[in-house]
Amino acid sequence: MTAAPAPAPAIRVRGLRKSYQELAVLRGVDLDVGRGSIVALLGSNGAGKTTVVRILATLLRADGGTALVNGFDVVTQAGDARASMSLTGQFAAVDELLTGRENLVLIARLRHLTTPGAVADELLGRFGLSDAAARRVSTYSGGMRRRLDIAMSLIGDPPVIVLDEPTTGLDPQARLEVWRAVKELAAGGTTVLLTTQYLDEAEQLADRIAILHGGQILVTGTLDELRRLLPPATVEYVEKQPTLEDVFLALVGHRANLGEAGPGGVDPAGADPAATSVPAKEDQ
């Protein structure tokens, strides 16, 4: 008996090229995003992350190469590709003058859903925004805005979600809230491609990490695979100091419970002793 063929990845990019005038930004990008996984596309400012996601979202035409979303070519089957994915852009696209609920209902109506109110209420609950549902978005914090933005992109249940720098500009607690929302999405079977310039974000969230540099994907793999690219760690005594993030979170609030530790997971609440206590010192 032969094994069933492996399912095609939710996103498949091959040899993608894009230049702006003289500036060659993408010089042959190859990238696969498996169904139901979270992949982080990591790169410095100007590396070309937004360029890749705009091509995937059919907002920008590549100069060469191919990109498939949910099996649909972004050029020759653009309508189907577009219907398969939703892009949450680098800058929040919510309407400030509407309430959170009105924003969601508006999008649900535009997508011709039959029960826009019920869809809005379900998403408000899922993203912890029920209490703020009737408030204008102009009164929301950055984290609430970002969560609403992500909630809006889920209307119609697209199988693939692309988040362009979902936590840039957010404070540590708001980042944790967005991370939790992204993890829940993937746990529900949605494929997530996110771009980030934060190493810790990739470390905490992603099943696989792809590093974009010099117009190409330098490496791709799980966190453990990427770690193995460096020489093995040497053992040396170092005093473990809490990070500034640990101190900040211990003083201003609690860590959100984000599930299991490990690649693709983060420490559950209070599990990191450095977050709440002074590190042990060697006896004098």
Ligand X SMILES: Nc1ncnc2c1ncn2[C@@H]1O[C@H](COP(=O)(O)OP(=O)(O)OP(=O)(O)O)[C@@H](O)[C@H]1O
Q: Which residues bind ligand X (CB under 6 A)?
A: 20, 23, 25, 43, 45-51, 90, 197
Q: How far is CA 261 from CA 78, 192, 254, 271, in A?
A: 39, 19, 17, 9
Local structure of 265: helix, strand or coil: coil
Cβ-based nearer residue to Mg ion, 51 or 103? 51
- What number of other Cβ atoms are within 10 A of residue 106's Cβ? 16
Kindly tell me which of 173 and 197 has the beta carbon lying closer to ligand X: 197
Question: Which tokens go with 25?
Answer: 């930004």
- Applying CB under 5 A, does 50 fall inside the site for Mg ion? yes
Counting contacts by CB under 5 A, is residue 51 touching Mg ion?
A: no
Query: 161 vs 36, 37, 264, CA distance in Å?
Result: 10, 11, 17
Residue 84 in the binding site for Mg ion (CB under 5 A): no
Q: Residue 92 or residue 137: which is nearer to ligand X going by CB?
A: 92
Report the nearest approach of ligand X to the CB of residue 22 (Å). Answer: 10
Nearer to ligand X, 150 or 275 (CB): 150
Residue 47 or residue 132: which is nearer to ligand X going by CB? 47
Burial label for 161, CB within 10 Å (0-12, 13-18, 19+), is buried
**At closest approach, how far in Å is the CB of 44 from ligand X?**
7
54/183 with CB nearer Mg ion? 54
Helix, strand, or coil here: 186? helix
Least distance from ligand X to the Cβ atom of residue 186, Å? 22
Stretch that binds Mg ion, among 50-58, 74-82, 107-115, 212-220 (CB under 5 A): 50-58
CB of 47 to ligand X, least distance (A): 4
Which residues lie below 8 Å from residue 163, measured CB to CB, with a gap of 6+?
A: 88, 150, 153, 182, 192, 193, 194, 195
Q: Which is nearer to Mg ion, 41 or 119 (CB)?
A: 41
**Residue 190 lies near Mg ion (rule: CB under 5 A):** no
Query: CA–CA separation, 281 vs 284, rounded Å?
Result: 9
Q: What dihedral do alpha carbons 79, 157, 57, 97 form, nearest 10°?
A: 110
Total residue count of the chain as it appears in this document = 284
Give the count of beta carbons closer than 10 Å to the beta carbon of residue 24: 15
CA separation for the pair 104, 94 (Å, rounded): 9
Applying CB under 5 A, which part among 20-28, 42-50, 120-128, 235-243 lies near Mg ion? 42-50
State the nearest-atom distance from the C-beta of 48 to Mg ion, in Å. Answer: 8
Among ligand X, Mg ion, none, what does residue 158 contact (CB within 5–8 Å per kind)? none
Contact assessment for residue 241 and residue 161, using Cβ atoms and an 8 Å cutoff: no
Give the contact letters, 219-248, x = binds to Mg ion (CB under 5 A), - = no: ------------------------------
Nearest distance from C-beta of residue 165 to Mg ion, angstroms:
6
Residue 155, binding choice from ligand X, Mg ion, none, Cβ under 5 to 8 Å by partner class: none
Q: Residue 50 or 204: which CB sits closer to Mg ion?
A: 50
**What is the helix, strand, coil percentage profile of the chain, to 5?**
35, 20, 45
Interacting residues toward Mg ion by CB under 5 A: 49-50
